[in-house]
Amino acid sequence: MKRNVVVLSMFLVLAMSVLESSAFANPAPPSLSDVTSTTMVIGGRNYHEVQATLNGTGSGGAYRVPVEFLYPVNPSECNGTGIVDLLNNSAMVLAAPIGGAVRPLATARARLKDKFIGEKGYSYVSVQWEKDRNAITTFNQLFGTNYVIPTLDDQFAIILDAGSLLKSPPAGLPGSPCAVDKAVAYGFSASTGPIVQLKFQSHPLAAAFAATFDASLIDSTTSGFGTVTMPKDGGLTIVISSETDVVLFRNDLTMRGQTSTYRQYEIPGSSHVTTDQHDLDDIVAGLPFAPTPPVRHSLAKNSPVHRAMMEHLRRWMNDGTPPPPSVTLDGSNYPLTPLPCVGLPIPGIATIPRDADGNALGGVRLPYLARPLGHYNGIELQYGCSAGGFPQVAIVAGTFIRDDAMINRYKNHGEYVSGVSKAADFAFQQGWILDADRQAYKDQAGQCPVGRIPTEELTLDDMKFCHDLD
DSSP per residue, 379-398: S-GGGTTB-SHHHHHHHTT-
Same domain for 94 and 237?
yes
Same domain for 305 and 404?
no
The answer to whether position 144 is within a domain reads: yes
> Which pLDDT score is estimated for 19?
40
Same domain for 448 and 346?
yes
| Domains held by the chain: number | 2
The answer to whether position 122 is within a domain reads: yes
Q: Rg of the Cα trace of the chain?
A: 22
> Which pLDDT score is estimated for 22?
40
Residues in the chain: 470
The answer to whether position 159 is within a domain reads: yes
Report angle CA 69, 270, 325 to the nearest 5 degrees.
80
Same domain for 137 and 269?
yes
> Which pLDDT score is estimated for 208?
95
Question: Of 284, 319, 354, which residue is a domain's last?
Answer: 319
Distance of CA 330 to the CA centre of its chain: 23
Are 156 and 58 within 8 A, CB to CB? yes
The answer to whether position 419 is within a domain reads: yes
Q: Which residues contact 292 (CB under 8 A, 6 or more apart)?
A: none
Same domain for 122 and 173?
yes
Question: Of 277, 292, 319, which residue is a domain's last?
Answer: 319
Same domain for 294 and 375?
no
The answer to whether position 376 is within a domain reads: yes
The answer to whether position 324 is within a domain reads: no
> Which pLDDT score is estimated for 289?
83
Same domain for 14 and 120?
yes
Distance set, CA 3 to CA 51, 124, 176, 342, 389 (Å)? 36, 38, 49, 11, 12
The answer to whether position 147 is within a domain reads: yes
Same domain for 298 and 341?
no
The answer to whether position 330 is within a domain reads: no
> Which pLDDT score is estimated for 225?
56
Residue-number span of the structural domain to which 367 is assigned: 336-467
Question: Of 290, 319, 348, which residue is a domain's last?
Answer: 319
Same domain for 168 and 107?
yes
Same domain for 270 and 351?
no
Q: What are the per-10-residue average pLDDT scores of the chain (470 residues)?
A: 30 37 58 97 98 96 98 97 97 88 94 97 98 96 97 96 95 93 96 91 91 96 67 91 94 94 96 89 82 86 96 97 98 91 81 96 96 93 78 87 96 96 98 98 97 96 91
